[in-house]
Structure 1
């Protein structure tokens, strides 16, 4: 009950101290999120640059996820203390006698024998649990009196290279030429987060103590000690996996305008208008050129030219006849013979079996749409 009272008082004090600072910020953040969601434009398809970045991140996620599995080929050998159920103060001969039972034909390997010759003191066992067997066996300049020498041996190949490779990946997927502007806007954020992750990894390895960080049972020599080397070797690629999943999610929602939308600048708006105008002018010029080519082909061909002239003479004659008759007895389309002929054509009594109005309408519609495609849209944009 005393502990509960202290915990409640501590919580109350912290709430009174930080509530006036945190509550207004939380309210403003909530309002900003609501405004952002309400004013965001409709979702769009994923741009090509963002798609390339997401594809690369997908392969990176799969790669790091496989490296985080304990049965992958690159996974370290099991911790011999946990494998043999030995305590930190168990004699070396006993540990390796138990270890031999897990080897083929109950015989230790050359690596086991070499490790046995090094694992003779408590300091050496701490180095094994912290930096792994390779640092304890292979380091030529390391001494047990100065454990920082083992840290210098461990850092380059086990920490710096993986983090540099991951930072290179982050740089590629946030590069504007490769991934587009939507992913490039996250470049500074992702880079800073990657550096923080690397600094946290270095801090853990530099400050970890196998006994002080362990449980009371381990410090009392009643349970096998855990190995930071074996845990961090699998947790590091798992952290990269989670990091890349978050990066892929942010790039996706940004590139599709689902969240974190920023309106285009004035320069981008002008470029869009110029692009639309240029496209419309190009389409209109192409159609005018096609019409000119068609007209030239008709004019230069004698047969087509005669038919064209005959058509326009008939049109002129029809208009003149229609004007003359309309002044006296109404329009030519109102005459009884014309009405009967049109009725026979519509009802299928003509010479060719009638006129298929549905087919004629579709063909005419397709023709008109093909000729005037884009012109209505251009007019609307121009008036808007």
Structure 2
């Protein structure tokens, strides 16, 4: 291999040439980053949609991580060349005699015996190192005269299908109906990253040669060749797990406004204003309905109606002549005097006494809960204006 010796003078020359170009760009990037961080809003909790997307990414990363472990049930067995420390041109009998020492009872398995019949040439051994034992022993249309036939047998289920499954997961996570607009904004970037990962995988599988891609000792036939099938079967799900972990990190940072924050568009602002207006109108409509119910109850009851009329006569008289307001406010029109409070009326006192003694057949606890919930809903936000409608001097 060629050796590259870079002197200090060369490094200095490169810095002198590139520094005027790179340093201003780095300064502008730093300033823009500071402005972005200073103008970002406060971190917010995760939304339900973002949490759903993060859960899917977490379980996906965990699943692929388990598949990347060498002791999982679906992990491939080690290469027989690495297991027996044999070279690419080691005689078949010697190779499998060494392999038998690593089998239970020093006896080859049926798969080993079938594989032994296929190890007829160096080309077959290269196919084993690139595409695994199943491609060499199970492909019915493959031929050593055309190595690409083994590639066609290997790619669909060993490379393309895992990447297709991974892309389906990425598509589901970045779907707007499933995870919301914030996570869906990463859809293009995550898709390009997944396709780039698949392209790298395909490139390695297509161009790898067990002998020519190895060190000089392997090319000279003096050391065991390096298998591609066995490590890449474990590295592929590991790459998926790392990729999903990075995607989850980006989703979390953007969903909580910790980083990658973009101001809402005009359409989003309009939607927020419309949602707030609808919520306000709904609350107002509920309060108006409650007021209408209370007003109808007052109007339909003769005693309450008389008291309501007397109250408003008091208000009108107060504005006209305060001396008359006192007389009207203390008289019921028949010469009788009104009690100062409704709780002082004789009928109300007797009814409360019977109820508190348990003779009224009323569940006081449940009644109190229902009444409190209703009153709190009707009077929400009116605490600061509770005295604005009271008549002066009452």
Per the normalisation by structure 1, the TM-score is 0.78
Contact 2:37 2:259 in 1 (8 A): yes
- Give distance in 2, aligned partners of 1:126 and 1:7: 41
Say if 2:381 is the partner of 1:373. Answer: yes
**Which residue of the partner structure matches residue 214 of structure 2?**
214
* Maintained 8 Å contact 2:119/2:125: yes
Return closer, same or farther for 1:178/1:91 CA change in 2, 3 Å cut-off.
same
Question: Which deviations, in whole Å up to 9, do the C-alpha atoms of 1:321-378 show, x marking residues without a partner?
Answer: 975999xxxxxxxxxxxxxxxxxxxxxxxxxxxxxxxxxxxxx9x96896142899xx
Paired residues of 1:280 and 1:375 also in contact (CA < 8 A): no
Change (3 A) 1:28 1:148: farther
Q: Is the contact between residue 142 and residue 150 of structure 1 (CA under 8 Å) also seen in structure 2?
A: yes
Structure with the larger helix share: 1
- Residue by residue over 1:121-142, the C-alpha shift from the partner in whole angstroms, topping out at 9 and shown as x without a partner, is 2222111111111111122333
5+ residue gaps, structure 2: 327-371, 385-394
Q: Is the 8 A contact 2:318 2:325 kept in 1?
A: no
Structure 1 residue 216 displacement after superposition: 3.2
Residue 92 of structure 2 corresponds to which residue in structure 1? 92
TM-score between the two structures when normalised by the length of structure 2: 0.76
Shift of 1:234: 0.5
Q: Provide the alpha-carbon RMSD of the alignment.
A: 3.1
Separation in 2 of the partners of 1:29 and 1:22?
10
Q: Where do residues 269-308 of structure 1 align in structure 2 (5 Å cutoff)?
A: 269-308=269-308
Residue of structure 2 in register with 1:153 after alignment? 153
Per-residue CA distance 1:298-323 (angstroms, 9 max, x = gap): 22123434555566677889999975
For the structure 1 residues 318 and 374, does the alpha-carbon distance in structure 2 shift closer, same or farther, using more than 3 Å as the test?
Answer: closer
Kept in 1, the 8 Å contact 2:61–2:244? The answer is yes
Q: Identify the residue that residue 173 of structure 1 maps to in structure 2.
A: 173
| Structure 1, gaps ≥5 residues long | 327-363, 377-384
Which deviations, in whole Å up to 9, do the C-alpha atoms of 1:86-141 show, x marking residues without a partner?
22232211221122222233221111111111123222211111111111112233
Q: Give the deviation of 1:219 after TM superposition.
A: 3.3
Shift in alpha-carbon separation, 1:233–1:7, aligned structure 2, 3 A: farther
Q: Describe the shift of the 1:5–1:193 C-alpha distance in structure 2 as closer, same or farther (beyond 3 A).
A: closer
Q: Offset of 1:4 from its aligned partner? A: 8.2
Show the counterpart of 1:237.
Answer: 237
